[in-house]
């Protein structure tokens, strides 16, 4: 691995992700200091998410694209988002006090947020995580056979919506009681993240069917692209 500027940023993003996880894991809604902790977590999360654009730009601009960067960069994206979502769906954010729940979710139907002040329910994270595992497995196998399986617009939209949803949760945990409308926006993006994840997963699997149709050509050494 060549430790150039883009790769250094990627490594820093991994460290920043761990810091965000530690902050979320330390959250206690009954403790006053937790809001300050979430404020810091929000700032670090946003900076880490946006630095993905920076290291990609620098890698292309400086002509420093490496195998490490191509592998590590998407890995860090998934680590940051999925790791944060898993932490935010932990029991630390599940409460039974309706007064507390209403302060984070207003008068919205309970099925939209369960008993979670983060608005994130465990089954949502299962769907998101399962989608990532499924697509990673399909992509890994197809590329091992010499067939390109590039990212598509739906996958990029999925990552964007998931990032906004995660950021909005952290924002509401920090400032939600003062910015009441943000709690409704949070739940809209949380549900949008789940729906976009499912939709993008379906699109990827439809494209993956092409693999089985062209596998014989791949075995013969012909270059196959899923965009055909």
Question: What mean pLDDT comes out for the span 41-68?
Answer: 84
Higher pLDDT, 136 or 158: 158
Can you give the length of the chain in residues?
228
Residue appearing with tokens 């983060």:
118
- Judged by average pLDDT, the poorest of 25-34, 43-52, 96-105, 110-119 is 96-105
72 pLDDT band (50/70/90 cuts)?
confident
Higher pLDDT, 149 or 223: 149
Check if the beta carbon of residue 21 is closer than 8 Å to that of residue 83. Answer: yes
Question: Considering only CA atoms, which of 212, 187, 61, 36 is closest in space to residue 124?
Answer: 187
Q: Hey, what domains does the chain have and what are their CATH numbers?
A: 5-215 (1.20.120.1760)
Q: What are the φ/ψ torsions at residue 74 (nearest 5 degrees)?
A: -65, -30
pTM here is: 0.86
- Judged by average pLDDT, the poorest of 110-119, 120-129, 157-166 is 110-119
pLDDT over 70 (residue 147): no
pLDDT over 60 (residue 124): yes
Question: What mean pLDDT comes out for the span 163-167?
Answer: 96
**Maximum distance among all alpha carbons in the chain?**
65
pLDDT digits (tens, 9 = 90+) for 90-106: 999 998 888 888 888 87
pLDDT digits (tens, 9 = 90+) for 174-192: 998 788 889 889 999 999 9
pLDDT digits (tens, 9 = 90+) for 192-208: 999 999 999 998 888 77
């Amino acid at each position: 691995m060549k430790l150039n500027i883009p790769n250094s940023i990627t490594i820093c993003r991994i460290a920043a992700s761990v810091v965000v996880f530690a902050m979320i894991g330390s959250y206690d809604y009954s403790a006053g200091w937790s809001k300050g902790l979430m404020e810091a977590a929000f700032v670090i999360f946003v900076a880490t998410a946006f630095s993905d654009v920076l290291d990609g730009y620098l890698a292309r601009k400086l002509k420093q694209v490496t195998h490490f960067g191509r592998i590590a960069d998407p890995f860090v994206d998934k680590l940051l988002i999925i790791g944060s979502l898993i932490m935010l769906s932990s029991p630390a954010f599940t409460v039974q006090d309706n007064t507390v729940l209403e302060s984070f979710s207003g008068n919205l139907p309970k099925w939209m947020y369960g008993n979670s002040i983060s608005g994130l329910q465990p089954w949502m994270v299962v769907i998101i995580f399962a989608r990532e595992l499924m697509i990673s497995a399909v992509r890994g196998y197809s590329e091992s056979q010499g067939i390109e399986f590039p990212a598509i617009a739906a996958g990029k939209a999925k990552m964007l919506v998931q990032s906004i949803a995660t950021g909005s949760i952290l924002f509401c945990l920090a400032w939600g009681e003062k910015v009441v409308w943000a709690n409704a926006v949070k739940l809209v993006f949380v549900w949008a993240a789940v729906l976009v994840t499912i939709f993008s997963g379906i699109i990827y699997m439809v494209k993956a069917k092409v693999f089985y149709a062209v596998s014989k050509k791949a075995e013969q050494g012909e270059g196959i692209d899923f965009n055909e």
